[in-house]
C-alpha cells in the first residue's frame, strides 16, 4: 500500500492511526448485530469486510441483520449467505446463492421500497445499526466521508450507527469528490420541505458528516466495483424501446409534456437499460434523469448530448464503460449528481418533478396488476427495489417485459398475477415487444382487451380471450374465473408449460 | 327564496343575473361531456343539478363521464346511474345502485387514489372538464367560490373547466367561510415545495378563485347534506380500538413517537370511526388529525379536548352531530382546516408529517396483502379511496377489519387475498377484534404465524395453519399452495361458506 496515497486520501491525520486489517476490524462484530453496509446495485459496496466476516464466521456463526442500499457486488451477498454471516437481509438483493437461501427460508428477506429503509431506521421501526461499513474514496479534514460510486443508505447508516468502519478504496479515484449531494431529512416534527425543484439541483453537502471519534476503524482496499452484467439490446428490447419512444412522442404531440419530456427513471436490468439506450436513436433533446441507478445507457445518452443531466443514487457500469466514465469524469462532473436513495426515490420529489418511471415486470395481468418480484408467485427473484417509489408517486408508470419467457413456456401476460407488487391503481402503461397498452383513464373491462391484443404473445391471445370471455359471464368490476385465475402458474409448475396441451 | 339572503351570499351583484332554475342550467350539458362535481363522502355535493340531469336524461341519454371528490349524497349517484346520466365514473363511490351498474359493466368505474385525480386532470391524462358543478355557501366580491362542508377536487375542477355552475346552498351557513384553505400545486416544471409543515397550517386562500365570467349559471338550493350512516361502536369495534390504543401506547413508550402521537388519518366508515371514537377513552392528549374525512368521532375528540386540531377535505356527520357542529362552529373555527383532497392526501405531505393511517380492509392475507375494494375478488364495493395515499407514504399503515363476515361464513383472514389494493410492502399493522399483528421488519414467513394467531377468528385458525404448513413444504419467500390459494373464495361463491363442510 502506497503510504503517500493513503495520507492524501485521509486528510485528517489523527485518523491514520485507525487503519487496520479487515480481519482486525471484523473482531468488532458480534453475533446478532444489525449492520449497515454501503453498496447499491453492485456499486460502492464494501469489498474487504464481507470477506473478513466470512472468515470470522468459520469460528462463530454471526447471524447478522444486514441492511444495505441495494444489491452488493463481488459475490459478497452469496458468500455471506453461504457462510452463515447473514440471517436477515433487507431491502434488496440480486444474488443467486442468497436467493436460494431466501427461498428455503434460511435467510429472512424483507423486500422494501428503497425510499423507506432510511425512514424506518430513523423512526425506530427497524433496529438501530450497530456497525456501519462505508466505502469511501477519501476522508476529509473534518472527518467527513466521501462516498464512491453510490450513496445508497450510507448517510443514514452513518448518522444512526453506534460505530462506523470506513473502507478506503484506492481503486475509486479521489476525483469522485464533488459528485455527491448528501441531504438527510430531519426527524419529525421538525421536518422541512426538501428544497429540490430540479433534477440537477444540489441541496446538501459533498460528503457524509461524522464526528471523527465515531470512526472505529479504517480498512484500506484497492478493488474495483463488479461490472454490471446487463445483456446487450436484442430485437425484442429494440421493439419495446420503439413502442416506448413512439408513446412518448405522442405525449409531446398531445401537449402533455414538453420536448425534453419529464425526468426519466429507469430500473436496473437488461430491458430498462435497452429501452433507455433506444432513446439515443430518438429525436428527444434536453432530457433529464432522476433515477436510482445510472447504467451504461445513461452515460451513452450523456455522451450523445441528448441527456442534459442525470441524478441517481448509484452508477453501475460495464467494465469498458466504467473505464471510459472515469477517464472522462470532468466532462460529466457538472451533469451528474449522486444522492442518498431516500432522496433519489423520495415520494415528495418523485411527485413534484413528475417522474416517468420505466421498470421491468416479471409478469402482468389483463387488468394491469404487476408482479415484479415473485417467480411462480412464491419464489423471490431480486426484490421490488425502487419501482414502487416511482410507480405510485410519479407522473407515468411504465412497465416493460418480454411477452414470453422460457422459450414460450411462460406468458408474461396472465389472467391474474400470482403476486402483486404494483396494483392496477398505480400502473399506467404496459409494454412488450408486440405493443403498448395505455391504461390511463380506463376501467378494468376496457383494459383487458387492450392488454391482450397489444401486449400478449400471439400464441397466448386465444387462451387469454377465452379466459376473459368466460370471466365476463361471471360479472364484476374486475371479472375473474377465480378457480382458474392462477391455473396457468400451477400448470407451469407441474408440466413446465403454461398452455394446456 | 329569500332575495335578501341570496344577495348577501352573492357578494358580486352582476352575478345575480346568472341565477336560474336547475332545469335551465341542465340544458348546458351535452351527451358525452366530462363533468366535475363537488362532493366528498356525502358532504358538499351538488344537490339540484344531479336531479335536473336525471330529468334531462328522460329526453336524451347523457352518458357523462362524472368525476367527483368522492361519493355523493342524496342518492344522486344511484339516481344518475339508473337514469343513464353517467357512463363513466371516478374516482370513488359508495352507492348500492351505482355499485350494481358498475358490477354489470353498465357504468365504467375507474378506482383511483384520491390524491391523483387532480394531478391527472392537470397533466391531461384525463379529459378536460366541460362543466364543473360546485356547491358554495357564498360567492365573494371578487367572484371567488366559498365551498361548503367539503373541498374535494372542486378547486381543480374550477381551474380546468370550460364552464362552471355554482349551486348556492342556503342550508350551508355563510359562517363556513374561513374554514377552507385552497392551495393548488402549479403545473410542472414550475412546481414548488408545498410549504405545509404542520397539520393546522394555512397555506392558501379561503375561497376558490375564478374569473367571474366563467360562472355560466348559479342555481340556488336549500338542502342539507345527507347524514352519515355509520353504525355505533359494538363489542368488536371496541376490542379493535383497544388493540390499536395499546399499540400506540407502546409506540410512545418505546420512544418512537411523542405523547401526542403523529398526525392521524382515519378512513370513512363504521370501524375506523369506532376506533377513533375509542381514543376518547385513551390518555392521549394534543392529538392532531391530517385526514381526508372528519366523522363524528373527530368532533367528539375535538369536544373532549384530546384532539388539538384537525385537517381534512370533508366533514361527514350524523344528523345530530351535524347540528351540534354548526351550532358551535365558532368553537372549532381555529381548529379545523378543510383542504383540497390533493393536499389532504398528498404524498409529499403524508411522508413529511409521518401520518398514522387507519383504514378498513375487506380482507387481508397471511402475508399482509390487503383487499379494500373487491368482494370475492371481482365485485366492486366502494373503491380504494385515499387509503393507498396514506398507506404507501405515511409512517404507519394500520388496517382494521372484523375477523369474520356473514355470521362466520367469510373469514377476513385468508390464504391469499383475491384482489390486492395494498401490497405487503405497504402494510405495517393488521388488527381484528382478536388482536394485532405488527408486521414491521418481518419477512413473510414470520408474518404468517403472527397474522393467523393474532388476527384470525379461532374457527379459521386451524385451516389457515394447515394451509401455511403445506405451503411451507413448497418453499419460497412467500410460500403458497397456488391451486388452493383462492379456493376459500371459490368455496364461498359456490357453497356460501368459506370452510369446507
Q: Tens of pLDDT along A238-261?
A: 999 999 999 999 999 999 999 999
CA distance B407 to B411: 10
A482 and B377: CB-CB below 8 Å?
A: yes
The pLDDT tens digits of the residues spanning A414-463 come to 999 999 999 999 999 999 999 999 999 999 999 999 999 999 999 999 99
Distance from CA of B354 to the nearest CA of A (A): 7
The pLDDT-based confidence of A190 (bands split at 50, 70, 90) is: confident
B3-221: what CATH class?
Answer: alpha beta
Q: Binding site, residues of B? A: 382, 386, 406
CA A113 to chain CA mean position, Å:
9
Measured between CA atoms, the residue of chain A closest to residue B261 is A189
The three-state DSSP-derived secondary structure of A202-253 is CCCECCECCCHHHEEEEEEECCCCCCCCCCCCCHHHHHHHHHHHHHHHHHHH
DSSP three-state, residue A402: coil
C-alpha to C-alpha distance for B233 and B116, rounded to whole angstroms: 32
Using the predicted structure, report yes or no on whether residue B68 has a pLDDT greater than 70: yes
Same fold, B3-221 and B235-458: yes
CB contact under 8 A, B374 and A476: yes
Res A229: pLDDT: 81
| Model ipTM over 0.85 | yes
pLDDT of amino acid B364: 98
Substitution target from A257, A393, A446, A489 for chain B, most B beta carbons within 10 A: A393
> Residue B176: helix, strand or coil by DSSP?
helix
Which among A347, A353, A471 is the nearest to B351, CB-wise? Answer: A347
Residue B2 in this model has a pLDDT that exceeds 80:
no
- Secondary structure string (H, E, C) spanning B213-274: HHEEEEEEECCCCCCCCCCCCCHHHHHHHHHHHHHHHHHHHCCCCCCCCCCEEECCCHHHHH
- Report residue A337 as a C-alpha cell: 449528481
Alpha carbon B250 to chain centroid, angstroms: 28
pLDDT higher than 90, residue B500? no
Work out the average pLDDT over A103-107.
Answer: 98
Other CB atoms within 10 A of residue A8 CB = 11
Predicted local confidence at residue A2, as pLDDT: 65
By DSSP bridging, strand A435-438 and strand A429-432 are antiparallel
- The continuous run of DSSP H or E covering B370 comes out as strand B370-371
Q: Which residues in chain B are closer than 8 Å to A421, comparing Cβ atoms? A: 423, 425
Identify the weakest region by mean pLDDT among A186-190, A216-220, A229-233. Answer: A229-233
> Which three-class secondary structure state does DSSP give residue A311?
strand
For residues B32 and B24, give the distance between their C-alpha atoms in angstroms, rounded to a whole number: 19
Of the candidates B124, B346, B354, the beta carbon closest to that of A188 is on B354
Query: What is the arithmetic mean of pLDDT over B321-326?
Result: 95
Average pLDDT over residues A22-51: 98
Q: What residues in B contact A477, CB-CB < 8 Å? A: 102-103, 109, 111, 373-374, 378-380
The binding site of B for CoA comprises 382, 386, 406
Provide the phi-psi class of B408: left if phi over 0, else alpha when psi is between -120 and 50, else beta: left
B167 is catalytic: no
Residue B217 clears pLDDT 90, i.e. is over it: yes
Catalytic residue (choose from A116, A135, A167, A292): A292
Residues A459-498 have pLDDT tens digits of: 999 999 999 999 999 999 999 999 999 999 999 999 999 9
Residue A85 burial (CB < 10 Å; 0-12/13-18/19+)? buried
CB contact under 8 A, A423 and B388: yes
Suggest the residue from B378, B380, B427, B471 to mutate for an interface test with chain A (most A CBs closer than 10 A).
Answer: B378
pLDDT tens-digit map of B159-177: 999 999 999 999 999 999 9
In angstroms, rounded to a whole number, what is the distance separating the alpha carbons of residues A44 and A137? 10
For B39-43, what is the mean pLDDT? 96
Question: Is the Cβ–Cβ distance between B287 and B301 less than 8 Å?
Answer: yes
End-to-end CA distance of chain B: 64
Does B178 have pLDDT greater than 70? yes
Cβ within 8 Å, pair A348-B353? no
Cell digits of residue B322:
351535524
Distances from the Cα of B461 to the Cα of A234, B415, B500, angstroms = 50, 11, 14
Comparing CA positions, the residue from B172, B430, B446 lying closest to residue B438 is B430
Per-residue pLDDT band at A273 (split at 50, 70, 90): confident
Return the closest-CA partner of residue B433 out of B462, B405, B456, B399: B456
Residue B112 has pLDDT above 70, yes or no: yes
**C-beta of residue A130 within 8 angstroms of C-beta of residue A197:** no
Instruction: Give the minimum alpha-carbon distance from B128 to chain A in angstroms, rounded to a whole number.
Output: 12
Q: Which of B191, B487, B490 sits opposite A197 (nearest CB)?
A: B191
Rounded percentage of chain B residues whose pLDDT exceeds 90? 95
Catalytic residue among B116, B135, B167, B292: B292
- Chain B: nearest CA to A214, how far in angstroms? 24
Annotated binding residues of A for CoA, as ranges?
Answer: 382, 386, 406
List, for residues A374-417, the tens digit of each pLDDT value: 999 999 999 999 999 999 999 999 999 999 999 999 999 999 99
Contact A363, A371 (CB under 8 A): yes
3-state secondary structure of B391: helix
**Which residue from A192, A373, A384 is facing B197, i.e. has the nearest CB?**
A192
- Kindly determine whether residue A423 and residue B428, on different chains, have CB atoms separated by under 8 Å: no
- Measured distance CA(A486)–CA(A494) in Å, rounded: 13
Tell the residue number behind the cell numbers 407451469, with chain if given: A492
Q: List residues bridging with A458 in a β-sheet.
A: none
Q: State which residue of chain A sits closest to B441, comparing Cα positions.
A: A126
Q: Among partner residues A111, A125, A487, which is closest to B440 by beta-carbon distance?
A: A125
Q: Which helix (H) or strand (E) holds A332?
A: helix A329-332
| C-alpha distance from B326 to closest chain A C-alpha (Å) | 32
Give the residue-averaged pLDDT of A194-220: 98
**Closest CA–CA distance from residue B7 to any residue of chain A (Å):** 41
Q: Taking CB atoms and an 8 Å limit, are B392 and A395 in contact across chains?
A: no
Kindly give, in sequence order, each residue whose CB lies less than 8 Å from that of residue B287, ignoring residues fewer than 6 positions away: B260, B261, B264, B279, B301, B306, B307, B308
> Do the chains contact at B486 and A482, CB–CB below 8 Å?
yes
> Which residues in chain B touch residue A419, judged by CB atoms under 8 angstroms apart?
478
Please identify which residue in the block is written with the cell numbers 401520518: B355
Q: Helix or strand or coil: residue B302?
A: helix
> What pLDDT is recorded for position A1?
56
Residue A370 main-chain phi, psi, to 5 deg: -120, 135
Q: For chain B, what are the domain ranges?
A: 3-221, 235-458
| H or E element in which residue B85 lies | none
Nearest-CA distance from B52 to chain A in Å? 27
What fold, for B235-458? Glutaconate Coenzyme A-transferase (3.40.1080)
Q: Measure CA of the first residue to CA of the last residue in chain A; give whole Å.
A: 64
Residue A134 has pLDDT above 80, yes or no: yes
CB nearest to B490's CB, from A198, A440, A482:
A482
Task: Find the residue in A nearest to B483 (Cα).
Answer: A490
Cβ contact A425–B103 (<8 Å)? no
Residue A36: pLDDT over 80: yes
Local confidence band at B1 (pLDDT 50, 70, 90 cut-offs)? low
CA B239 vs. chain centroid, Å, equals 24
How far apart CA A304 and CA A299 sit, in angstroms, is 9
**Are B313 and B338 in contact, with CB atoms under 8 Å apart?**
yes
SS3 A484: helix
Amino acid at each position: 500500500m502506497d503510504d503517500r496515497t493513503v495520507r492524501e486520501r485521509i486528510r485528517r491525520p489523527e485518523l491514520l492511526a485507525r487503519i487496520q486489517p479487515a480481519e482486525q476490524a471484523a473482531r468488532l462484530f458480534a453475533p446478532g448485530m444489525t449492520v449497515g453496509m454501503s453498496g447499491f446495485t453492485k456499486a460502492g459496496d464494501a469489498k474487504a469486510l464481507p470477506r473478513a466476516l466470512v472468515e470470522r464466521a468459520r469460528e462463530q456463526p454471526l447471524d447478522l441483520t444486514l441492511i444495505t442500499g441495494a444489491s452488493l457486488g463481488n459475490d459478497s451477498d452469496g458468500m455471506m449467505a453461504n457462510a452463515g454471516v447473514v440471517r436477515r437481509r433487507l431491502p434488496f438483493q440480486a444474488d443467486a446463492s442468497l436467493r436460494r437461501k431466501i427461498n428455503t427460508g434460511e435467510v429472512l428477506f424483507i423486500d422494501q421500497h428503497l425510499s423507506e429503509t432510511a425512514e424506518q431506521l430513523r423512526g425506530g421501526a427497524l433496529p438501530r445499526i450497530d456497525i456501519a461499513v462505508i466505502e469511501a474514496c477519501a476522508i476529509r479534514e473534518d472527518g467527513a466521508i466521501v462516498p464512491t460510486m453510490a450513496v445508497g443508505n450510507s448517510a443514514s447508516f452513518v448518522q444512526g450507527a453506534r460505530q462506523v468502519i470506513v473502507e478506503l478504496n484506492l481503486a475509486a479515484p479521489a476525483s469522485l469528490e464533488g459528485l455527491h449531494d448528501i441531504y438527510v431529512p430531519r426527524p419529525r416534527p421538525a421536518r422541512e420541505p426538501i428544497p429540490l425543484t430540479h433534477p440537477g439541483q444540489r441541496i446538501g453537502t459533498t460528503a457524509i458528516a461524522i464526528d471523527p471519534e465515531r470512526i472505529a476503524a479504517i480498512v484500506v482496499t484497492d478493488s474495483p466495483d463488479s461490472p454490471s452484467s446487463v445483456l446487450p439490446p436484442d430485437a425484442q428490447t429494440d421493439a419495446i424501446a420503439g413502442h416506448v419512444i413512439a408513446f412518448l412522442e405522442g405525449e409531446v404531440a398531445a401537449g402533455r409534456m414538453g420536448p425534453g419530456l419529464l425526468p426519466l427513471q429507469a430500473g436496473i436490468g437488461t430491458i430498462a437499460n435497452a429501452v433507455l439506450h433506444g432513446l439515443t436513436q430518438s429525436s428527444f433533446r434536453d432530457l433529464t434523469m432522476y433515477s436510482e441507478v445510472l447504467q451504461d445507457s445513461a452515460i451513452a445518452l450523456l455522451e450523445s448530448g441528448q441527456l442534459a443531466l442525470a441524478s441517481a443514487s448509484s452508477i453501475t457500469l460495464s467494465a469498458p464503460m466504467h473505464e471510459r466514465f472515469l477517464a472522462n469524469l470532468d466532462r460529466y462532473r457538472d451533469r451528474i449528481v449522486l444522492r442518498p436513495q431516500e432522496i433519489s426515490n423520495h415520494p415528495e420529489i418523485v411527485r413534484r418533478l413528475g417522474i416517468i418511471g420505466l421498470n421491468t415486470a416479471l409478469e402482468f395481468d389483463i387488468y394491469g396488476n404487476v408482479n415484479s418480484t415473485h417467480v411462480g408467485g412464491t419464489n423471490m427473484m431480486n426484490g421490488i427495489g425502487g419501482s414502487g417509489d416511482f410507480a405510485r408517486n410519479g407522473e407515468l408508470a411504465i412497465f416493460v417485459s418480454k411477452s414470453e419467457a422460457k422459450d414460450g413456456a411462460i406468458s408474461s401476460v396472465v389472467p391474474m398475477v400470482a403476486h402483486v407488487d404494483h396494483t392496477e391503481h398505480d400502473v399506467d402503461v404496459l409494454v412488450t415487444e408486440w405493443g403498448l397498452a395505455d391504461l390511463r383513464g380506463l376501467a378494468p373491462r376496457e383494459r383487458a382487451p387492450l392488454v391482450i391484443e397489444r401486449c400478449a404473445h400471439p400464441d397466448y391471445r386465444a387462451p387469454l380471450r377465452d379466459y376473459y370471455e368466460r370471466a365476463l359471464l361471471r360479472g364484476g368490476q374486475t371479472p375473474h374465473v377465480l378457480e382458474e385465475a392462477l391455473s396457468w402458474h400451477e400448470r407451469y409448475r407441474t408440466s413446465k408449460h403454461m398452455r394446456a396441451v
